Amino acid sequence: MKKTLVVLALALGFSISNLNATNDITTSENLDKVSIERVEVSPLCKAVATGNVEAVKNLIKQGADVNAKSNGMSPIHYAAKYNRVELIKVLITAGADVHKYCDLGYTALNHAEKSNAKEAAQFLKRFKRKTV
């Protein structure tokens, strides 16, 4: 008798959990549209992210905009995020805006701190705006 009650209780428990699990099934009608967003990163930002100093210098000589955003971030944000201090110096010398915000509202210093890029953060703190 006890075995029968235990088996019935387990069966009831499984049926209730299966019933709840099937309530949120997505029908094939909702799967007709698939959106794919392709993100293109500029050659300058790619060169900065990979740490290719010569390519960055050549792109700047060819007239690449050092403040143009690519995927929501400017080249100095990429340099800060990937701890590329030498490239930060190159970009600042070429006229990059250290205080420019990315699309998420972060500065280069914020990106360096979030990414634990200690050398970049230490270098960028020199450019911190003074509040009066």
Split at pLDDT 50, 70, 90, the class of 131 is low
Q: Is residue 56 included in any domain, yes or no? A: yes
Integer CA distances (angstroms), 82 to 15, 44, 72, 131, in order: 52, 14, 16, 28
Predicted model pTM: 0.69
Domain count, the chain: 1
Task: Provide the pLDDT for residue 130.
Answer: 62
| HSE-up of residue 50 (Cα within 13 Å, Cβ side) | 11
Q: Is residue 36 included in any domain, yes or no? A: no
Task: Provide the pLDDT for residue 37.
Answer: 73
Task: Provide the pLDDT for residue 41.
Answer: 87
- Residue 85 sits in which domain range? 43-127
Task: Provide the pLDDT for residue 10.
Answer: 64
Task: Provide the pLDDT for residue 20.
Answer: 47
CATH of the domain at 90: 1.25.40.20
DSSP conformation letters of 63-96: T--TT--BTTB-HHHHHHHTT-HHHHHHHHHTT-
Task: Provide the pLDDT for residue 27.
Answer: 55
Provide the residue type at 38 as one letter. R
Average pLDDT, the chain: 83
Q: Is residue 132 included in any domain, yes or no? A: no
